A and B are shown apart, each in its own frame.
Chain A
Amino acid sequence: MARVAWIMGGAVVGANLFLEGCTRKAAKNVEGLFEPETIDFLGDVADTILPPTSSPGAKEAGVGAFIPVMVKDCYTTDQQKIVIDGLGKLEDAATEKFGRKFQELDAAERTELLAAIDKEAKDYQKNKTEEDADHYFHLIKQLTLLGFFTSELGATEALRYVQIPGRYDGDYPYAKGDKAWAT
């Protein structure tokens, strides 16, 4: 729907209203992260970082809903602001690079965009002092990885999970391609 609105652009009377009604509202505070549109957006960001392969992607694993919980409960106010502002920066970067919002990009464009932001974040993290704040994408990526590999789908399908192993074998065969243990 949002993509359609963009194509129609200013040609439609009242397009701005239309756009506002149909695209994601920018999260202005932590509670805003819990808006369904933002959860969907975060899911798409996470899914670009960890897409579906032979195992489900991060979006299906529920990472979009996991990130707001962690940001709200576990992050400091400063870190919360970094993430909230960061989502705006991510949108700005999409607009600047492709002239469209992130969720209006196709999979290849999303990957290209986030790979560039990831590189920027890595360079930043490498050069920053300990006191400097973390890059927003560094935080989002961390939460994505944590959320995915500890999710039910991530642990049981992307990794191997046995809740009650029952025994210990310290000389267990491994063949390339075998999954790691989730816990």
Chain B
Amino acid sequence: MADNVYDAIVIGSGISGGWAAKELTQKGLKTIMLERGRNVEHVKDYHAATKHPWEFPHRGGRTQQMIEDYPVLRRDYPLNEKNLDFWVNEKESPYVEVKRFDWYRGYHVGGRSLMWGRQSYRFSDLDFGANITDGHGVDWPIRYKDIASWYSYAERWAGISGNRDGLDVLPDGDFLPPMAMNVVEKDLAARIKTHYQGKRHFIIGRVANLTVPHEGRVNCQYQNQCSLGCNFGAYFSTQSSTLPAAVATGNLTLRPFSIVTKILYDKDTKKAKGVEILDAETNQTYEYFAKIVFVCASAFNSTWVLMNSATDIWPEGLGSSSGELGHNAMDHHFRCGASGRVEGYEDKYYYGRRANGLYIPRFRNVGDDKRDYVRGFGYQGSASRGRWSGEIAEMSIGGEWKDAMCEPGSWSVGFTAFGETLPYHENRIFLDKDVKDKWGLPVLAMDMEIKENELKMRKDMMEDGKEMLEAAGVKDVFTYDNGYGFGQGIHEMGTARMGRDPKTSVLNANNQVWDALNVFVTDGACMTSAACVNPSLTYMALTARAVNFAVEELKKGNL
């Protein structure tokens, strides 16, 4: 076999790309995984993971130089001293904001699997049926039964801890033991259950952190600094989980610094024959050939690859025949909710830093509930004891004051809502050929916004939070809306959606590009609707499912 010919090519090495590589190599396919950025080696390259707080010169904060260098990252928490090397160099890789769009990217092996929030939930049939029910977007070509076993498959390998709560709106999975609620959270959850007669629930978050040793990995040590990389491999990332599995097969070639510039499309066979890459270090162009291509470059970059491919046939790119490529961009809108103070429990505290919180599954527009908007939202939050930083009292300075600040303060609880964003055709990305990145490649322009449905929902996201906390006996409850920039949820979805009809969708039910059946897109780009739950587990399941399908088709000679 020539050194540029493989059975399969995977573009991207994040959550979806890592899964594609694992599944393909384990099924015996010689696979090359192309990553546009540098390599990050497990443990070895987690430079901040073992540092104490005092070993960071600015104690984790942001310098003026960082603020200048990262005009997007600075808009929210990701800009910090500790894991700056996991975030994209914005000067090298700009994009255009027709409307404000916050794009938090990780261009390195592992992608955002290293920094992700790890909350892992299944979509339900309420989600898969949402578009056809209320008429927004197109119908998902799959239902829960089509993906349920793949969710199990993904959970069993990735290691998702959670409780089996038995809720239709949030199907249970194949969980490792759940993390524990603290004593305050337990009591709040019990009160909510009673007050809402089992219609609303505070549950422990379902999270991709191991609560017991799993598949050769160590369980969570409760440091809660996952986004620095975990030397224990206790949370799911490409490095901790899928990459070593792929490497172990002997079938994987990992090529960092490989920017895929286009998929090479053969108009005679109507299939892709490979990809062209630009070596990010040398600027040399190379071609790689394979029977199948998995596009897992992160939602909008996967679409960028398609837009740059087969333009001699379709000026707007591979998959654009539907007119939907680049459209129906989605995220989760959030940054609003409610908080309050919990009285008592002065003799209670906790030990360890739990890398997880509570979750309140969706209850709006479920069953008989009908609102003046469609879809719904869930909440993430927790109860904790305050510390000195939150309680700078009137008593000012001195030894007595210092000693008081060395003790924990009162308990408080807060929840932030994450709402579903509808798939609006006009919310789109497109190539801006006048603006080029460091490598002379055209960049993406972002043109999207939340609309009336989301804005109405945000009122409930605050008020429902307040109502529930008050019902649970929380005092001094206040609501907040810290404002939301599209993309800030770091849950980019859509722009190459799955569907039932090649005229209205880019991908079919098996994530194949309608216009090139040996090209599969299985990351956030494929999403037909967003639901309100964190989406990464769904990418894992869809990717494993699509690889299984692809390999079966290859065996049958159909690809």
Measured CB to CB, the residues of A under 8 A from B are 48-55, 69-70, 73-76, 111, 114-115, 118-119, 122, 141, 145-147, 149-152, 155, 158-159, 161-183
Knowing A74-B58, A151-B54 touch, does A174 contact B408 (C-beta < 8 A)?
yes
* CB-nearest residue of chain B to A58: B402
**Complex Cα–Cα for A175 and B387 (A):** 15
Knowing A147-B59, A163-B223 touch, does A114 contact B352 (C-beta < 8 A)?
no
Is the beta-carbon distance between A167 and B58 smaller than 8 angstroms? no
**Complex Cα–Cα for A74 and B182 (A):** 36
Is the beta-carbon distance between A172 and B350 smaller than 8 angstroms? yes
Is the beta-carbon distance between A73 and B406 smaller than 8 angstroms? no
**Complex Cα–Cα for A115 and B388 (A):** 19
The answer to the question of B554 belonging to the interface, with a C-beta cut-off of 8 Å to chain A, is: no
**Which of A141, A155, A165 is close to B222, meaning CB atoms less than 8 Å apart?**
A165
**Complex Cα–Cα for A59 and B351 (A):** 30
Interface centre among A75, A122, A180 (most CB of B within 10 A): A180
Is the beta-carbon distance between A165 and B388 smaller than 8 angstroms? no
**Which of A55, A119, A146, A152 is close to B396, meaning CB atoms less than 8 Å apart?**
A119
Is the beta-carbon distance between A115 and B402 smaller than 8 angstroms? no
The answer to the question of B397 belonging to the interface, with a C-beta cut-off of 8 Å to chain A, is: yes
**Complex Cα–Cα for A122 and B346 (A):** 29
Is the beta-carbon distance between A168 and B179 smaller than 8 angstroms? yes
Q: How far is the CB of B135 from chain A (nearest CB, A)?
A: 44
Could you say which residues of chain A place their CB within 8 Å of the CB of B389? Answer: 145, 149
* CB-nearest residue of chain A to B388: A149
Q: How far is the CB of A93 from chain B (nearest CB, A)?
A: 14
Q: 17 more A-B contacts (CB under 8 A) besides A49-B402, A168-B350, A170-B185?
A: A48-B397, A49-B397, A53-B399, A111-B397, A146-B59, A150-B59, A152-B52, A162-B351, A163-B223, A164-B221, A165-B223, A168-B352, A176-B346, A180-B385, A180-B409, A181-B353, A182-B53
Is the beta-carbon distance between B399 and A172 smaller than 8 angstroms? no
**Which of A141, A166, A172 is close to B348, meaning CB atoms less than 8 Å apart?**
A172
Grouping DSSP codes into helix (H, G, I), strand (E, B) and loop, the B interface class, with mixed when no group exceeds half, is loop
Is the beta-carbon distance between A155 and B54 smaller than 8 angstroms? yes
Segment from B62-70, B96-104, B111-119, B248-256 that makes contact with A: B62-70
What would 13 A/B residue contacts be, using CB atoms closer than 8 Å?
Answer: A50-B397, A53-B402, A70-B58, A73-B64, A111-B398, A118-B396, A152-B54, A163-B52, A168-B180, A170-B181, A170-B186, A172-B351, A176-B407
**Which of A155, A171, A172 is close to B53, meaning CB atoms less than 8 Å apart?**
A155
Could you say which residues of chain A place their CB within 8 Å of the CB of B405? Answer: 145, 149
Q: How far is the CB of A107 from chain B (nearest CB, A)?
A: 10
The answer to the question of B369 belonging to the interface, with a C-beta cut-off of 8 Å to chain A, is: no
Is the beta-carbon distance between B183 and A165 smaller than 8 angstroms? no
Mask, B225-260, CB within 8 Å of A = 1, is 000000000000000000000000000000000000
**Complex Cα–Cα for A151 and B394 (A):** 24
Q: How far is the CB of A172 from chain B (nearest CB, A)?
A: 4
Q: How far is the CB of A62 from chain B (nearest CB, A)?
A: 8
**Complex Cα–Cα for A75 and B58 (A):** 11
The answer to the question of B315 belonging to the interface, with a C-beta cut-off of 8 Å to chain A, is: no
**Which of B59, B62, B63, B403 is close to A53, meaning CB atoms less than 8 Å apart?**
B403
Mask, B33-64, CB within 8 Å of A = 1, is 00000000000000000001110011111111
Could you say which residues of chain B place their CB within 8 Å of the CB of A170? Answer: 180-183, 185-186, 350, 354
Residues 57-98 of B contacting A (Cβ, < 8 Å): 57-65
**Complex Cα–Cα for A121 and B405 (A):** 20
**Which of B57, B354, B396 is close to A69, meaning CB atoms less than 8 Å apart?**
B57
Is the beta-carbon distance between B406 and A115 smaller than 8 angstroms? no
**Which of B62, B348, B387, B407 is close to A173, meaning CB atoms less than 8 Å apart?**
B348
**Complex Cα–Cα for A177 and B404 (A):** 9
**Which of A111, A146, A180 is close to B408, meaning CB atoms less than 8 Å apart?**
A180
The answer to the question of B349 belonging to the interface, with a C-beta cut-off of 8 Å to chain A, is: yes
The answer to the question of B312 belonging to the interface, with a C-beta cut-off of 8 Å to chain A, is: no
Could you say which residues of chain A place their CB within 8 Å of the CB of B54? Answer: 150-152, 155
Is the beta-carbon distance between B222 and A118 smaller than 8 angstroms? no
Q: How far is the CB of A85 from chain B (nearest CB, A)?
A: 19
* CB-nearest residue of chain A to B387: A180
Is the beta-carbon distance between B352 and A166 smaller than 8 angstroms? yes
**Which of B181, B385, B406, B408 is close to A158, meaning CB atoms less than 8 Å apart?**
B406
Could you say which residues of chain B place their CB within 8 Å of the CB of A163? Answer: 52, 223
* CB-nearest residue of chain B to A55: B406
Knowing A149-B389, A164-B221 touch, does A69 contact B58 (C-beta < 8 A)?
yes
**Complex Cα–Cα for A164 and B355 (A):** 13
**Complex Cα–Cα for A69 and B398 (A):** 24
The answer to the question of B347 belonging to the interface, with a C-beta cut-off of 8 Å to chain A, is: yes
Q: How far is the CB of A162 from chain B (nearest CB, A)?
A: 8
Could you say which residues of chain B place their CB within 8 Å of the CB of A183? Answer: 53, 353
Q: How far is the CB of A75 from chain B (nearest CB, A)?
A: 7
* CB-nearest residue of chain B to A69: B57
Could you say which residues of chain B place their CB within 8 Å of the CB of A165? Answer: 221-223, 351-353
Is the beta-carbon distance between B406 and A159 smaller than 8 angstroms? yes
Could you say which residues of chain B place their CB within 8 Å of the CB of A149? Answer: 388-389, 405
Q: How far is the CB of A90 from chain B (nearest CB, A)?
A: 13
Is the beta-carbon distance between A180 and B388 smaller than 8 angstroms? yes
Knowing A115-B396, A163-B223, A173-B348 touch, does A179 contact B406 (C-beta < 8 A)?
yes
Is the beta-carbon distance between B402 and A50 smaller than 8 angstroms? yes
Mask, B379-416, CB within 8 Å of A = 1, is 00000010111001010111100110111110000000
Q: How far is the CB of B215 from chain A (nearest CB, A)?
A: 20
* CB-nearest residue of chain A to B220: A168
- For the complex of A and B, 7 pairs with smallest distance between CB atoms: A170-B182, A165-B352, A168-B352, A174-B349, A180-B408, A169-B351, A73-B63
